[in-house]
Amino acid sequence: HAVREMKRNITALEREKAAKAILAPSETALEHISADATIIVDPPRAGLHEDVIEKLLETKPARIIYLSCNPVTQARDVARLADSYGIRAHRGYNFFPRTPHIEHLVVLDLKK
C-alpha cells in the first residue's frame, strides 16, 4: 500500500523523472543506490541488511532518510554509517497509540 501511495504522490507532484518507488527487499535492489540519489529506507525490525550498509558506504549518496520501527537496530546502523554521515534531524512518531511500538525517522547527510 505504501509503494502504491508513493507512486501516486510522485505522479501528483509531477516528479516521474526525479523519483522512483521500488518495492523489493533492499538487498535485492542495490543497483538503485547511487551517489546522485536521496535514499529512503524503511527496513524490517532487524535493520538494514549488511549488503545495503556496504553499498551506502561505497556510493555515499548525499542524503539517507531512514525510517525504522526498531530504534535499537536503527541506532546500530546509524553508528555503522557515522564515519561518513552526520544526523541532520531525527524524530519519533507514535503511530500506534497504547502499544509499545514507535516509528523513528533519522535524516543523515554526508559529511563534507
Q: In this structure, is the dihedral angle defined by the CA atoms of residues 12, 13, 17 and 19, taken in order, positive or negative?
A: negative
Query: Catalytic annotation on 69?
Result: yes
* Contact assessment for residue 75 and residue 50, using Cβ atoms and an 8 Å cutoff: no
With a CB cutoff of 8 Å and minimum separation 6, the contacts of 24 are none
DSSP β-ladder status, 85-93 and 63-68: unpaired
Helices assigned H by DSSP within 13-111: 50-59, 71-81
Using DSSP, state whether 27 is helix, strand or coil: helix
Q: Which of 6, 21, 40, 69 is catalytic?
A: 69
Residues marked as catalytic: 69
